[in-house]
A = this chain, B = another copy of it.
Amino acid sequence: MPVVTSEVRRGAYYDSVVLMQLQRGLLGLAGVIDAGVVMATPANRDLLAANDLMPDVAAGPDDLLVVVKADSDSAAAEALNQVDLLLTRRRAAVDQEFRPRSLQAALGMLPEAAWVLVSVPGRYAASVARDALSLERHVFLYSDNVPLADEIELKHSARSKGLLIMGPDCGTAIINGVGLGFANHVRRGPIGLVGASGTGLQAISSHLHSLGAGVSHAIGTGGRDLKSEVGGITSHQALELLANDPETRVIVIVSKPPAPDVATRLVTAAQSAGKPVVIDFIGYAPPARQLGPVHFAATLSEAAELAVKLVDRENDDRESESGLRPHHASNLADRYVRGLFSGGTLAYEALLSLQAMLVPLYSNAPITNEQLLPDPLRSQAHTILDLGGDEFTVGRLHPMIDNDLRIRRLKQEAADPAVGIVLLDVVLGEGAHPDPAGELAPIIAEITGGQAVEVVAIVIGTEDDPQNLQSQIDRLTQAGATVFRNVTAAVAYVGRLRGRLVSPGFPPVSLDRLNRRPLAAINVGLETFYESLKRQGAQAIHVDWRPVAGGNERLAAILARMKK
């Protein structure tokens, strides 16, 4: 009959590695069937219970709970007696080299360390990271459970100093060939990675390696970087850094789906990176396969494969810059885009691609709730209208047959000085108006002439259609419209017309310190990360970090007050 016994050590702080090794030590003892060694958080108590290891004892999140299931009372008691011995044995193995107790001391020993790795428990992590920033060091912040407010404050502070905070909850980075945290051994090469996802970076970098390619830097951002509240600060810094890095020829960005506004800004920034960028926002509906220099991948493996192809193709990829007709309208980047569609799906596809570049964007047939146009009769900011929507067609012919509504709206939009580009579709074929270009062209000529608004038209049809495809295209072109045969090409053109956004004006992250070899770093937290740095030939110092006052928060607060 198995016996479960336990011991609680109140307010004791132990490194997770120590806990794992203690549990393994206990499991190796005679008569022990199972064992659990955890901080007694509610989640960990549930986990113990699920394994029939939860004793009926009072223990809280700050208490160490040691549980042993053994085949007899004596074996259980004997196991608990070994706890101190097992802990001591562990410590003896470690205490052979001198270890500083503070970051400052460690930097005194290794002043060339540009990096600080932080993997202490979440509630202590922000304070260590803050110290590192104030000492002008980049931070790899592995710790999770760091409050969002701390992340925001740390990232603003880092950005203003031209420093990087990778994380919190950043699992993986590769800087100048050296892996930080969890990282695979991959050859160096021309592909730079930015990842809000640690295993995403691992999967892509491993696959790149298996394809014969290599990585310049892989920069982690932490999983929350692309939330609206954080705004992608680290991602933008990393993108800019890789855009400036002469060793990086293609950039890959990987993340779970970002907040829509953050995605839009990052896609826009990627379009001005000056090199091909592959984006894999896993589970994000891609606006297209490609928008100018930005390519969208559906999976991690595809992201790697695309990047390799783009390295090879990089030099002839400038074609996306060509094909821009001379146009009259100016300041298009500051003026609005208005789409007047007769085809619902064409409107939807346009909205889908444009939402990756324009914000705020409205529609009477929105994709997200925020995009709902309050009054379909009045456009606002960037607006894409489906004129075949029910609100426009009750007791009225479809706009593919009757152009009246669209012509009125076209005049209305062009009269608005805030409008720079009007996008419209012309759908040919059976059932449709016999000569849509004939009705639209005079109005388009008026618009593109006088008010210097650009008109971009998408013509859907075949040369066998009754309207005569080529003559429809010719009439629109002669009237001053730029004509495309599908939505994606038209939207990419709109992107080029609107030109590039300026960079936000924070100091760039210094490439000099990033590309310095050998990499040097201070490690605060998980010892395995230190060992891994040393194994990779990096210079490293491990800090023998302990929470202030042994983790007793009341005492720590008193001490902090005394320091002031």
Contact = CB atoms under 8 A, between A and B. Distances in A.
B390 A145 contact: yes
B289 A429 contact: no
A41 B394 CA distance: 7
Q: What number of copies of this chain does the assembly contain?
A: 2
Contacts of A402: 16, 20
A93 to B, nearest CB: 16
Contacts of A398: 171, 182
A244 interface: no
B430 A397 contact: no
A431 B529 contact: yes
A336 interface: no
A557 to B, nearest CB: 21
A536 B430 contact: yes
Contacts of A44: 394-396
A200 interface: yes
A282 B145 contact: no
A521 B513 CA distance: 75
Contact of A431 (B183, B300, B405, B427): B183
B17 A256 contact: no
Contacts of A429: 179, 182-185, 202, 206
How many of chain A's residues touch chain B, expressed as a range? 35 or more
A467 to B, nearest CB: 10
Contact of A283 (B16, B38, B61, B367): B367
Nearest to A296: B298
A46 B61 CA distance: 63
Contact of A430 (B182, B284, B343, B377): B182
A102 B197 CA distance: 64
A89 to B, nearest CB: 19
A460 interface: yes
Contacts of A144: 390, 393
Interface string A264-307: 00000000000000000011111111000000101111100000
Which 10 pairs, one residue from A and one from B, show the smallest C-beta to C-beta distance?
A199-B343, A39-B395, A185-B464, A184-B429, A197-B345, A200-B345, A182-B431, A430-B532, A301-B486, A179-B430
Interface of A: 16-17, 19-20, 23, 38-39, 41, 43-44, 46-47, 50-51, 61, 121, 144-145, 171, 179, 181-187, 197-200, 202-203, 206-207, 209-210, 223, 254, 256-257, 282-289, 296, 298-302, 342-346, 348-349, 352-353, 367, 377, 390-398, 400-402, 404-405, 408, 412, 425, 427-432, 460-462, 464-466, 485-489, 528-529, 532, 535-536
